[in-house]
Structure formats: structure tokens, C-alpha cells
Structure 1
Amino acid sequence: MSQIGFLSVFGAILTGALCAFGFLAFWIRANRSSLVTARTLMLEAEAAITFLFDDETLVNASSPARDLMEHRQADQSDWEAFLSILSARFPDLRSQLSELAVTGRKSIKPVDGHSSWIEAEYWNGLARITLVQHKDHPDDTIDPLTANAIEHELETLRSIGEDSPQLIWKQDSQGVLTWANRSYIELSEVLFPAAPDAALPWPPRDVFSNIARPAGNAPIVEMHRIDVAQNEKPIWFEITSLKRGLDTIHFAIDATAVVSAKEAQRDFVQTLTKTFAQLSVGLAIFDADRRLVIFNPALGDLSLLPPDFLIARPTLFSFLDRLRDNRMMPEPKDYSSWRNQMAALESAAAEGSYQETWAIPNGQTFRVTGKPHPNGAIAFLLEDISDEVSLTRKFRSQIDVGSAVIDNLEAAVCVFSSSGTLVMANTAYQSLWGTQLDGAINSRDFSEESANWQEATAPSPIWVKLHEAVSLGKTEPSWSGRVWLDNQIEINCQYHPLPDGNHQVTFTFSEKENAGSGFVESSDFKPQRSVSV
């Protein structure tokens, strides 16, 4: 290599080394300047409560400031812990410090008129924030015992808030979450799970959205729903929001059971309403003040009362007055006696003993029943039984006609039920056997009647067959036989099975006896016991 080439290479190397040295020297001077600046900023306010931040990282703090930071929550960042500590006295601290990088210097006064204030400065990427005490009005000092008592009370309150099953959290005037208890944080982690190796965020993500923020001192209570992926049903919370200074404190109680109970009650009421709407019986429920609170459509159809009158919740006596005006209840003799009767009706219904049949002037018949309900309420059931009454009268007429026809027969006829009870006997039967029924026909049974027959007659296998048919229930077709009374009178006995297990037994005189006299002529006959066969 020539001498000229060697000099050129050496010159280039020397130039590069000089540049690198110059850059290193500049970097050292810049960092030394930054460190000197940080050290200078802290030395100027070492005795005060001073924090030095690089963005949101606390790079240095005075001794009093470090003492304050010891009360931070474990999962809070430096910046959030700082804001949380001073937010009680400076609620707008977050928003005011956001402009520090632009203004360079800022004084922030407290909202409670306290003598201290905050001086914030920004220089070369560092923010120094100092809590300044007024020289003429220093903070009052307290003795160690009082400080210990305050610290103990604070610890107690802190543990209550942390261990509470309620969700408790606090928001500043900007709506930013500044504190939350363990229950709130755990629910937030369930709703918004983080990666296994990721740090938990602060503040935690909001569990609820659109939470009310009261403008005055009165609390606001509202319901909020949360859908959790692991649960089939949503979780309901009753949230109470209170304004404390410029902050808002929220308390959330799990109200899922209450909401579920209300939904079940609403469904039950709807089911009852649908059921009542389909009933043909009119229902009217009056509360303890005797006002109509529940009624079904059938009530309006039966009483002919207009819906607007029923919806207006009339009193019990107004309801009865309108029934009387519409001639939908028995016509009273006079109004005063009617009012007394209605007062007695209310009293009887409250005791659960009122039941009456009303014959309406238009020909209808109502069955009215009064029943007591809880909390002093009473319910009235209005049932149209006109068809039932008409059918009963028709059946009664048919029964009376049938009974008269059977009583006019010369044959002695009796009927026993499947259980052997005497259910019917005509006049000829009573005359023949001397049976006195006296309206208590169902109190006699086959064993009593059979004993009476056998006592008045000679022994016969007929009674055995009747016993097997009626008492033992042996199903047999119709048959007949003859028995002899003690006075040598021959009687034909006929057995006929009837529907539903009933039995008919008929006694008639034989033809030679009928030739002389019938049952009509032997109504005064008394069986003789002196003759035996």
C-alpha cells in the first residue's frame, strides 16, 4: 500500500472514533443533566410532600411522600395510587394534571378550603408534584395515641369495605373508578378475564354501564342486569348511588332471588288471571277497606254491571247498591232492613259462614258465597244455578210422581242398594210388614227387614236365596218363590236385579188370596205368630 492510501484509511478511522466519542460524551452529558435535574428537583423539596414522576412511573419521592404511598392498594400503579391518595382533597386532580405538559406549571387549590395546595412543574420529561403547606397555617399535629386510634379505625373501615359481600366502588367527578373492594374486582375479573401471565389492570374494567350519578344528596336506587357466560340465568343487582363531595359511591346488592321471586309471582298472578277469566263463576275480592280489587269477566256478565264501574274500585256497599238498582238481587221489603241485611252479609262473609241462594226477579237463581281472605279481605262468588235449580225441580217432580205411582200399586215393593240399605218402600210394603219408616228409610238395612220377614213367616229357603243375592252380592237373574205367613196366607216373593247393584223385592198375595182381598183391603193386616207350617 502506498503512503497516500495508508494516510487516507487512518484518517477515516480517526474521524469515526472522534464522532463516536463525541456522541458518547453528548449522551453522558444529557443523562447526567437529566439525573442532575431530577436530583436538583428533589433536593429543592426534600422536606415537603413531593412526588417525581416520569410519565406515570414514580422515579423518586420525598420521605413524607413515601410514607403516604405505603397506604396504596397492592394492585395499583404509581400514578393511580397517587391520584387515589389525593383525590379526596383534590377531586379534579387527574384532569388538571393532564394539561401539565402543555402549561409547564400549575397550582391546584383544594375544594374544601384547606390551607394546603398543590404545585406541579414539568421540566425535561419529569413532573414534580408538591403538596405545599401554608407557612401561616401549618397543618395541626396530633399525638401518637390519637394517630393510632385513627389508624385503627381506618384499618377497620378498610377491612369492612374489602370483605363486604356487596360490590362497593367509588368514582370521581369525571366518572373514573378510583377505588373498588374485593367483590367488585373479582366480578370484573370473571366478566373480563385476563391472560394467565398478564398483569391485572387498574382500574378494573367497569362491571356496570350507565350507572346513575346523583346530583343532590338523595340516593338513587336502580336495578342492573349482568349476563355471565357460565350462568344460564342473568344476575340482578340493586345499586344504591350516593354523592359524597364530588365523588360518587356505589353499593350493589345481589337481588337475583328477589327478581326471580317477583317474576314467579307475576307469572302466578297471570296464570290466576287467565284461570279466573275462564271461570263461569263471578269472582269479586274486596280488600280490608272493602274496595273491589280483583274481579273476573264473569262477574260483569252475571251482575250486568258496566266494566268502568268495576274498574273504578267501588266499595262493597256501592257494589251491592248497584246490584239492587239493577234488580240483580232479591227485592228487599224496605231499604233500612236491606242495609242491615247487607251489613250482616259482610260480617258473615268475613267469618267464612255466608252462603245464600238469591232468587232474582228476572227468574234467575244465584248462589252467593262469602269467604274470608288474608289481611282482612273477603271474596264473593256469584254462581248462576238457574239450570241446576230447574233440573233439581224437574227431578224432584219426577221422583214424586214415581213415588206416587209405586204407592198406588197393590204389590208390596221395596228396593235395597248394593250395600244392603233400604232405599225405597211403598205403602203396601209398610202395611204388609208393619214397617214404620217415619222418613228415615235409609237407616234400615236388609238384615233388619229379613229378620222381620222371617219372624212373620214359616221357615223357607226363599230367605236364604234373598240373603245370598242382597247381602252376599251373588248376581242372579229374576226369580220368584212362595212363603207362608203364620196365619196360613200364601205370598209370592219375586226378586229382580236392578242397575248399579240395586235389588228389588216384590211381595204379592197368591191368586186365591187375591180373590178374597188385595193389599188395599188388607192395609190393617197384622201378621199373626200363632200358626206355623
Structure 2
Amino acid sequence: MEFSPTTLALIGVVLGGWTLAALAAIYLASRATGQARDMRTGLKRMQRMLDESPALPLLVRSDGRIEASARLAGWFGLDRMPTYLSELAEGESGLTHQQVETLQKNVRRTQKTAAPFRMMITPRGSSRSLSLRGHLADPQVSPGGAALVWVFDFSDSESELARLRAEAKRAQGDFAALVGLLEAAPMPMWFRTEQGKIRLVNSAYVAAVGARDAEEVVAEQIELIEPVNGLGAAQVAREAGQQRQPIERMVTSTINGQRRALRVSDLPLGEEGIAGYAIDVEDMEELARSFKAFRTAQRNMLDKLSAGVAQFDSNRQLIFANRPFQRSFGISFEQMRERPSFNRWLDIARDQNRVPQVRDFPAWRTEREEWFTSNETNEESWTLPNGTHLRIFAQPDPDGGLLLLAEDRTEQLKLSASQDTLLRTRTATFDSLFESIAVFRPDGRLQLWNRRFMADWDLEEEFLDQHPRIDDLLTHIQKSLREGEEAGQIGDVVRAATLDRSQGVGRVSLSDGRILEFAGVPLPDGNGLLTVLDITDAQKAEEALRARNAALVEADAMKTRFLANMSYEFRTPLTSMRGFAELLETGLGGELTEDGMAYLRAILDSVEQVENVLDLSQSEAGMLPLVKESIVLEPFLQAIIDSRREKIDARGIRLELRTGEEETRIRGDERRLARAIGHILDNAINALPDGGRILVKLLARGDGVRIVISDDGMGMDALQLARALDGLMVSADGKTVERRVNYGLPLAKRIVEAHGGRLEVMSEEGQGTAALIDIA
């Protein structure tokens, strides 16, 4: 079949149109396919972004059906997402019934009122925290009033918030506790700003400054610490803040009216401010002062001890040594200042030969170092090369130091040896004594005795070696006594000496005729000494002496009667002789020649000498007659001096009489007192060389008077003065005595004593003599 060209043209046009249409369809299809592919890619991207986003959508339709991703089901703790909202609470996982009811209620309200809501849920058995934010869904998303709920997972944020809340709560509690601690602190505490202004104080600070409350302290900026050297507390705090370092100082401040020592610290706290506190260390300072005073007193006391004392500290350095210790070990002052170590001290002592000589000194020194770590006191005896014996005590201290005591026992050892020698000497001395001796202990047991004791009482040595008691001893002694009951006297004396600590004596007669006298003496050591003496011969001699004494007494009575009778017989003619001689001296019997006057003066001197002898004899026998009358001393003394004026002027002697302004009187025998004072004055005149000086001084005393007669002569020694006062002179053979020619001083002494007074003569060779007469 043949087609026309038109037909072919039409066919061609149709085919062309179809081709074009096919090409257009292909193009459009290809474009739609690309758009669909792009859309699917975008949907996948969006789905992926939703799956990775912290918020997932939950679409709740009006009939309760829900649409959500499987990831959200995992957030809810479910294996898959259920169909309805109420099914979220079914099973052991997922939401709780209360959470689902609250969610349903919020969803219905949103679907009805389009009001959004928010809520927080935590699925059961999960630590995930979910935040739900719901609102009405867009009609394009879901028509018909569906609710779109966005679920956010903020578990990490919630944990962080919980941690922060816990930390904040803990910080708040710590702050409250810190504030309470500050308030309860007994020490003043404060807080300042960076500018040094007080911002916070505690109650102790308020009480210390005497304010009403903390607000007053902050408002008025009341400072506790006084300025020191013009630098106030705020300035010191600012300096601590600027240096970013704590500043601590010791100051004194007035607290409750008392000056107290405070240790003040300012602590910078960065940009927050500066904290400070003050610790009252007054008690510690007082304790430190007391300890220092105690240590000083202790070391002063240790310096006075005879034993050497040294202290080593925990570093084993010598920190103290008293003077005996330094002398014992030859430590100089410079070495003490260097504080030598323990080893160095031993080396110094070794150089001075003050330690024992040992073969291995380093090993010996190492052993002594163990004293520091020992748990007990170590004691050693050191024998030094020079013969000194030291007793060493090493006491370790709890702080690691060492207290060392060195006691020099050389003298004690010598005394011990001397004591042993003395004991031997005592035993030998006891055995050589003429009298018998026994020593009894306080319990009455015999301790010591000599051989004479054993012989006197006829005792056996074996018996005494048993140290018998006094009762057993008396049983043996009783056999030797003439009367056995006298043995009790010995026991009483021994008991009195040992127990009563009193002396006792007694006498017993033995059966062989001997007479023993015994005495008990308490000894200082608590023992009693019994001494026994054989007085047989002495008793016989005593009886003879009694007979002779009776004869002497009778002879003394005869002498007294003789003096009483012969005194009158002698004085009557002596008085007559003196009277007639004085009349002849005045020329009543005619003028005498020069030889006659010499004889007359000799007669008067003899009469005076005889009267002196009579007065002295009567005074020694206590029979000197005194005629007491009132005597005015000033003219009385002047008359005595005037009677010797010729002799005084002839020898050029200067005599001075000094009396008081008031009249002085005494009662006495004027004639005999004149004789006594005249004798003393004559002795002074005779003892002076020509041109000498005599001073007679009258002194009134409360209970009488004192007459002083002094001269500047040659004086006498003690022996010459004693003989002059006694009126006796030892003969040339040294065995007998002879009377002195001059009885002046003995007679003057007797006369003064007969008046109830006292004569005292003081003399020194080359210095003169002074006689002091005290009369009441």
C-alpha cells in the first residue's frame, strides 16, 4: 500500500508530535523523579535530624491515638511505641499511671483550649529526665484538633542542676555552719573588704570591744587592735591583701579592762576581702615567763649543787652544764658557748684525762651514745687517771635528750676508808680503856663491848659473841653481885639510855668486895652507852677525903672565929698607932727631924699595910664590916685626888677629873671606898712614867654609877693582870705561891664587890690600863 506524500507528511508530523510529546513526557517524568528523589532525601535528612535532635515529637490525635518514633519509645523505656496514649503506663516499664493521667489531662485541655502545657516526667526504672511541652498541632500536620507534644531529654542538664543544687545546699549548710562556728569561736574573728573596712565580726569580737552588737561594730568601724608604731589594723590588713600573703604579729590590747597579749593574723581571701582573728596568748606568755623563770631558778639551783649536772637536747648538743660539771670535765666557757655535741664533749673530757682509760675509745664512746635511746636510767662508775672516782647517772628525756649527773665520790670513798680505820681504831681504843664499855641497840641487844667489860663482870667471850639481849646479860651478871636484885638497876639505866634517851647512874657491889659504878648515856645514833668503872680504891680514898674535909671545915671555922676575935684586937692598937703617928706628923709632940719624919711615914705605911691585910682577910671570909652612908661622888673623888696631889705634881703627871652636870650620890662605906679607889689611883700613878696622863671619869647610869680610872702607861699582859687582881705571885720553883707586897687591886676588888658592885680592869701592853668600877 502506497501512501501519498501528504499522508506521509501527516504521519511524519504525527510521529514528530509524538516524539516531542514523548520527549516532553520523559523530561517531565525525569524532573518529577528528581524532585521525588530530592524530597525523599530531604525527608530522610529531616527524619535523621529528628532522630538525632534532643527533642522528639509525639502526636496525639483527638481519639487518643499517638504517633511517635521508636527512639521516643526507648526514652519512655518501652520496646515499641503503643497505639494509644493510655497504653504508655501498661507493663512494668514506661510511665506511671499518675504521669499518664496528668499527660492525658494536659493533652485534652490543649486540644480543647489550644493552651500549651509543660510537665516533667521520669519513666519508671530509668534515670532519664524528660521535659514535655505540648501545644495544638498545625492542621497541615494533623487536622482534626490533634495535640503535638515535644519531648526533650535533659538528663545531663538535670544531673548538673541536681549537682549544683546539692552543692548549693551543701555550701549554704557549710556557710551556716561556718557562721555558727565563727559565732561560737571564743576568739575574736572578723572579715574586711579589700579596702580594710570591717564587714563581719563574731560575738567574741563584739564582747572584746564592748559594743552592743555586730551592727554597731561595723557601723562605727570599732577596732580591736590598737595602732602600733602609727600603723593601724586596717593598714596591716590592706598590706596583707596587697602582698597576697598572711601577716601574723604579736600585739597587746585591752580586753575587758585587762591588758592581754594577742597573736593577730590577717589572711587575704583573694578578691573577697581579708579575714582576721586574734588568739589570746596571755596565759601562754605567762606560762612561758613562768617556765623561763623556773628554768632560770632551776639552773641557778643546779649551779649550787656539789654534783655535776648537764643537759643534752634531742640533737645531742650540750645546752647546759653547771659549774661542778664544767670543773669535773675541764670544759671552758668558750667550749660551752659552742654547744658541743655528746661525742665532742667526750673528746674534750678525754683530752683533759677526765674519762676512764679504755683500749678502744671510739667503741666505748659509741656505747655511751646508746644512753639517748635507752628506756631506763644508766649508772656507771668512772675511775679517772688522777685517782678521782665519779658516779655517772644518765637519764634519757622523753623529748630525745639526756640528763647527765656526775657525782664525785672520791671523798666518800676516802671517808669510807677512814671510817673503816676509825672502826678499827675504836675497837682498839675500847680495848685499851681503863673503864669497861658496852653499847646496846634500841632493842636491848648488846652491840659492842671491850675486854674490860668482859673481865669486870666475869663474862665469857663466846656468850658475848652471840650479842645477847639485856635480860639474858643481866641473868649472867646477877651471879657476880653481892645482892642479885641490884641487877635491875643496870637494866633500868640501859633502857633509859636507849628508849627514853636520858642519862642514868648507879652503883653495885660485887661478891668479891669490888664496887662498880655504872652510867648510861644516849648516843646520837639511837644506841645507848653503858660505862662501868671500878671505884673500889676511889671509894676508900673518898672516905679518907671526907675525914680530912671535916677537919678542914673545922679549921675554917676556927679561922673565922680567929679573924672575928683578932680583928678587933688588931684594929684597936692600929687605930691608936695611926692616930698618934698623925699627931706627931702634925708637930703636936714637937718638931721632928728629917729622919724622924721618915720613920714616922714608915710607921704609917706599915699601919696601912696591916689594915689592908686585915680588910682583905675579912673580905675573903665574908666578914668585912661596912658602915653605909650617903656619898656625894664629885667632892668624894676630888678629895681622893687632892690627897695625892703632891705626888702627882712632883712627877709631872696630868690628872683630869670629868663629872656630869648633875649631883651623883651613892650609899656606901666612905672610908673603905676611898681606900679602894685610892689603891687603884695609886697603881695608876706608880705605873706611869713622869709626865704621864690619868683620866678619872664619872658616868651616871640608869642602875647606878660608873667610875673610870685610865692611864696611858705601859700596861700589862693577861697573865700579869690576872696575878695583879688575885694578889698572888708564883714562886721561882713554879710550885708554890707567895704574897705580893701590894694588896691594892685585890683589896679594891673585894671592897667594891662587898658594896654589890663590880671591878673590871682592862689592860694591854703599850696601850695603858683602865679600871671600871660599877656601883649600884
Q: SS state of the match for residue 210, structure 2?
A: helix
Q: CA deviation at 1:362?
A: 3.5
Answer yes or no: is the 8 Å Cα contact 2:197–2:221 preserved in 1.
Answer: no
Q: CA deviation at 1:463?
A: 1.4
Whole-angstrom CA distance in 2 between matches of 1:364 and 1:205: 71
Q: CA deviation at 1:277?
A: 2.8
Q: CA deviation at 1:200?
A: 6.7
Partner of 2:209: 188
Q: CA deviation at 1:276?
A: 2.1
Q: CA deviation at 1:296?
A: 1.8
What letter matches 1:298 in structure 2? Answer: P
How many residues align structurally?
Answer: 356
Q: CA deviation at 1:250?
A: 0.9
1:462 aligns with 2:486: yes
Higher helix share: 2
Answer yes or no: is the 8 Å Cα contact 1:238–1:254 preserved in 2.
Answer: yes
Whole-angstrom CA distance in 1 between matches of 2:266 and 2:301: 42
Whole-angstrom CA distance in 2 between matches of 1:342 and 1:482: 72
Candidates 299, 305, 308, aligned match of 2:325: 299
Structure 2 vs 1, CA of residues 328 and 411 (structure 1 numbering), >3 Å: closer, same or farther?
same
Structure 2 vs 1, CA of residues 467 and 291 (structure 1 numbering), >3 Å: closer, same or farther?
same
Partner of 1:285: 311
1:378 aligns with 2:402: yes
CA shift digits 1:275-295 (9 cap, x unpaired): 223333221123455442332
CA shift digits 1:462-500 (9 cap, x unpaired): 31001111114575654432345xxxx677544123354
Q: SS state of the match for residue 202, structure 1?
A: helix
1:71-150 equivalences under 5 Å are 149=169
Whole-angstrom CA distance in 1 between matches of 2:348 and 2:165: 79
Partner of 1:424: 448
Answer yes or no: is the 8 Å Cα contact 2:372–2:400 preserved in 1.
Answer: no
Partner of 1:496: 519
1:204 aligns with 2:225: no
Candidates 342, 352, 356, aligned match of 1:326: 352
1:220 aligns with 2:244: no
Structure 2 vs 1, CA of residues 506 and 376 (structure 1 numbering), >3 Å: closer, same or farther?
farther
Q: CA deviation at 1:207?
A: 0.9
1:241 aligns with 2:257: no
Structure 2 vs 1, CA of residues 242 and 468 (structure 1 numbering), >3 Å: closer, same or farther?
same
Partner of 1:405: 429
Candidates 473, 482, 486, aligned match of 1:449: 473
CA shift digits 1:385-424 (9 cap, x unpaired): 5455545544543442232132245765312356645342
Answer yes or no: is the 8 Å Cα contact 2:208–2:256 preserved in 1.
Answer: no
Candidates 451, 459, 476, aligned match of 1:433: 459
Structure 2 vs 1, CA of residues 164 and 305 (structure 1 numbering), >3 Å: closer, same or farther?
closer
Q: SS state of the match for residue 302, structure 1?
A: helix
Answer yes or no: is the 8 Å Cα contact 1:457–1:483 preserved in 2.
Answer: yes
Partner of 2:188: 167
Partner of 2:665: none
CA shift digits 1:255-312 (9 cap, x unpaired): 3333332222222112212222333322112345544233223321222122333343
Answer yes or no: is the 8 Å Cα contact 2:209–2:255 preserved in 1.
Answer: no
Answer yes or no: is the 8 Å Cα contact 1:169–1:181 preserved in 2.
Answer: yes
Answer yes or no: is the 8 Å Cα contact 1:221–1:241 preserved in 2.
Answer: yes
Partner of 2:3: none
Unaligned segments of structure 2, at least 5 residues = 1-160, 226-231, 538-776
- Higher relative CO (Cα under 8 Å, sequence separation at least 6) belongs to 1
Candidates 266, 272, 279, aligned match of 2:292: 266
Answer yes or no: is the 8 Å Cα contact 1:277–1:296 preserved in 2.
Answer: yes
Q: CA deviation at 1:225?
A: 1.9
Answer yes or no: is the 8 Å Cα contact 1:220–1:242 preserved in 2.
Answer: yes
TM-score between the two structures when normalised by the length of structure 1: 0.54
Whole-angstrom CA distance in 2 between matches of 1:439 and 1:260: 67
Answer yes or no: is the 8 Å Cα contact 2:435–2:531 preserved in 1.
Answer: no
Percent identity for Structure 1 against Structure 2 = 16
Runs of 4+ in 1 over 6 A off after TM superposition: 142-148, 198-201, 437-441, 455-459, 507-511
Q: CA deviation at 1:163?
A: 4.2
Partner of 2:14: none
Whole-angstrom CA distance in 1 between matches of 2:294 and 2:474: 59
